[in-house]
Amino acid sequence: MELCVISSTTKIITPFRSCLTRSIGSRLLQSNRLFLSRGGCSVRLKKPIRSLEISCASRKFGGGGGTRKVATTPAFETSLKEDRLPAELQVTETKRANSSVKVGVEVPAIVCEDCYQRVLSEFMKLSKVPGFRPGKRVPEEVIVGFVGRQYVLRATVESILKRTLPHAMESVTGRALKDSIQIVSSFPDMEKQYSQLKTVSYEVVIDVVPELRWNPENGYKNMKIVVELGDEIDAKKACERQLRQKYKSLGALKIVTERGLQVGDLAVIDISATTIEEDGSKGQSIPDAESKGFHFDTEEGNRLLPGFLDSILGIQAGESKSFSLVFPESWKQENLRGQRAQFTVDCKELFYRDLPTLDDSLADKLLPGCTTLKEVEETLAKRCQEMEQEAKEQATDNAILEQLRKMVEVEIPQSLFEEQGRQFYGARLLEIQGNMKLTEDQLASLSSQKAVNEFLETQRESITNIIKQNIAVGDIFKRENLEFSTDELVKEVENSISEFKKHKQEYDEERVKDQVQEILEGAKVLEWLKERAEIQYITRSD
């Protein structure tokens, strides 16, 4: 049942503050435990490729019913600096939507022939052809017949791709995003073209570093920020709530007799609700507002639908009450905002708390280690003040990041969107696992590609917004020549790696370094922006 009022204020999750207020290593440790991205590769905002080495075994090929992986046979390792092609490739580049480019590559016949001869030489080294000593040259027709013409054809096309793709990608080196290369041409079509024409042409789609546009230009330098704070973070009120909760936990529940519901009681109730049409007639049921055996703590009544508590005060066990209420404009479900509804509440059981006398004798029970009520209050007050300050800083960071998002225009590459989304989905699964123990079947179901894709689609807007924020932060860090010390980076990387080792988790040191660097960059940018922004704090009234 959902009877709680929430604020309509947009909340954007940001990694920077949460990582810095607790161990960076513990954060990275959590994100590393679920490998929902491609083979467990990094899902941070990816940096452009500075050098490109291609392995046909890991490239994706289009056509023929979808992408597929092609095995290399045999392997030919090439280096762009060491391998000079016998002729120039014809390369064309076409800009596409979502910060991607399509590169068309035409490989001259002389390059294809050179690759073919290399394939034959490699097979001669690896094959034991009857009648020929190992290492001796075998006539072309003999080696082709021994290995198989189709097998040689496939290996030649793979060799052509492996040798030419790094050269063809020179135009996007420094802009291309890692792990985003996709050969969209059909491999069988390339085989057919080569067998008939002795040349090969293919097309590659690759995501590139998105171009960021600020509106207005340099608007981030003098931002005016309004930070909305809820009264739930107020240290004094939070301290009072915590003390009251701890005190209530020491009381025994006893059945109420000979009176109705009062504030302070706990009621077990059944709730049903229907909409009321404009003409006053009964409408449809409201499943989200209905519940059976709901444990209603009257002291938490202010967190529920306004007027609900007042409408049932005085109700007795076994009694039923009906009343109408209007859902507020801040209600979670948009379709219910402003909707008038008829509620029926059946009271099943009614309890009151038999509380002990609140004095120093309860201090240790309220907060272990404390000897007086004053000490309990002071300890709780200190904790709540720290929490209030942290919540205020987090709200400030979120408000700044949200305004940055509105200032930037950028096309998000699909590969970047998918990997960022997988990171968030992994964090969601970790949270679920932390709250409840999942069975292997449940975890497998939640980790399925279908479940991940559904999450990516339903959370598309949120994921896109966070990527925009991250790109904006990175651009400011670069524009303003911000920096952090090498010692700070080294220290945090070492701390993070020690966390992985402590929990016996595998890790990639380069990935850890990249993620720590991103976190430190984000913290520096937020610090720089707050020093220059005009920030106003207002308290939200629910």
Per-residue model confidence (pLDDT) at position 373: 94
Per-residue model confidence (pLDDT) at position 74: 40
Range list of H helices, 347-459: 363-366, 373-407, 414-435, 440-446, 449-458
pLDDT beyond 70 at 53: no
Mean local confidence (pLDDT), 387-401: 92
* Phi, psi (rounded to 5 degrees) for 388: -65, -45
- Residue 78: C-alpha distances to residues 54, 90, 106, 165, 496 (Å): 8, 20, 19, 10, 35
Residue 162 φ/ψ region, left for φ over 0, alpha for ψ in the -120 to 50 degree band, beta for the rest: alpha
Which residues, 6 or more positions from 217, have their beta carbon under 8 angstroms from its beta carbon?
Answer: none
pLDDT beyond 90 at 376: yes
**Least reliable range by pLDDT among 311-315, 375-379, 419-423:** 419-423
Interatomic CA distance for residues 531 and 388, integer angstroms: 20
Q: Where in the chain is CATH 3.10.50.40?
A: 252-354
Task: Give the closest residue to 421 by CA, choosing from 374, 390, 375, 453.
Answer: 453
Mean of per-residue pLDDT scores for the chain: 83
Mean local confidence (pLDDT), 121-149: 83
Per-residue model confidence (pLDDT) at position 499: 86
Per-residue model confidence (pLDDT) at position 480: 95
The answer regarding whether domain 252-354 maps to CATH 3.40.50.150 reads: no
Q: What is the maximal distance between C-alpha atoms in the chain?
A: 108
pLDDT beyond 80 at 104: yes
pLDDT band at 515 (very low <50, low <70, confident <90, very high): confident
Q: Bigger pLDDT: 536 or 439?
A: 536
Q: Given the DSSP bridges, would you call strands 100-107 and 182-186 parallel, antiparallel or unpaired?
A: unpaired
Q: Given the DSSP bridges, would you call strands 182-186 and 60-62 parallel, antiparallel or unpaired?
A: parallel
Per-residue model confidence (pLDDT) at position 17: 43
Which residues, 6 or more positions from 456, have their beta carbon under 8 angstroms from its beta carbon?
Answer: 417, 418, 421, 422, 425, 463
pLDDT band at 28 (very low <50, low <70, confident <90, very high): low
pLDDT beyond 70 at 535: yes
Per-residue model confidence (pLDDT) at position 225: 93
Q: Where in the chain is CATH 1.10.3120?
A: 15-40+214-230+384-540
Per-residue model confidence (pLDDT) at position 27: 53
* 8 Å CB contact between 250 and 355: yes
Q: Bigger pLDDT: 31 or 452?
A: 452
Mean local confidence (pLDDT), 14-33: 48
pLDDT band at 531 (very low <50, low <70, confident <90, very high): very high
Mean local confidence (pLDDT), 299-327: 90
Collapsing DSSP states into helix, strand and coil, what is residue 64?
coil
Q: Given the DSSP bridges, would you call strands 534-540 and 224-230 parallel, antiparallel or unpaired?
A: parallel
pLDDT beyond 80 at 232: no
Above pLDDT 70, what percent of the chain? 84
pLDDT beyond 50 at 280: yes
Task: Give the closest residue to 102 by CA, choosing from 180, 157, 198, 194.
Answer: 180
pLDDT beyond 70 at 211: yes
Per-residue model confidence (pLDDT) at position 8: 30
Interatomic CA distance for residues 480 and 501, integer angstroms: 36
Q: Bigger pLDDT: 367 or 515?
A: 367
CATH architecture for the domain at 15-40+214-230+384-540: Orthogonal Bundle (1.10)
What is the token pair recorded at 175?
A: 């802009």
Mean local confidence (pLDDT), 407-416: 92
Q: Where in the chain is CATH 3.30.70.1050?
A: 56-208
Collapsing DSSP states into helix, strand and coil, what is residue 121?
helix
* Phi, psi (rounded to 5 degrees) for 230: -90, 150
Which residues, 6 or more positions from 451, have their beta carbon under 8 angstroms from its beta carbon?
Answer: 445
Per-residue model confidence (pLDDT) at position 40: 31
**Least reliable range by pLDDT among 238-242, 277-281, 338-342, 376-380:** 277-281
Per-residue model confidence (pLDDT) at position 67: 36
Collapsing DSSP states into helix, strand and coil, what is residue 12?
coil
* 8 Å CB contact between 373 and 363: yes
Mean local confidence (pLDDT), 137-166: 90
Residue type, 523: A
CATH architecture for the domain at 56-208: 2-Layer Sandwich (3.30)
Mean local confidence (pLDDT), 132-153: 84
pLDDT band at 135 (very low <50, low <70, confident <90, very high): low
Q: Bigger pLDDT: 71 or 192?
A: 192
Q: Bigger pLDDT: 2 or 503?
A: 503
Per-residue model confidence (pLDDT) at position 79: 52
Most confident range (mean pLDDT) of 69-73, 167-171, 332-336 is 167-171
pLDDT beyond 50 at 49: no
Interatomic CA distance for residues 506 and 500, integer angstroms: 7
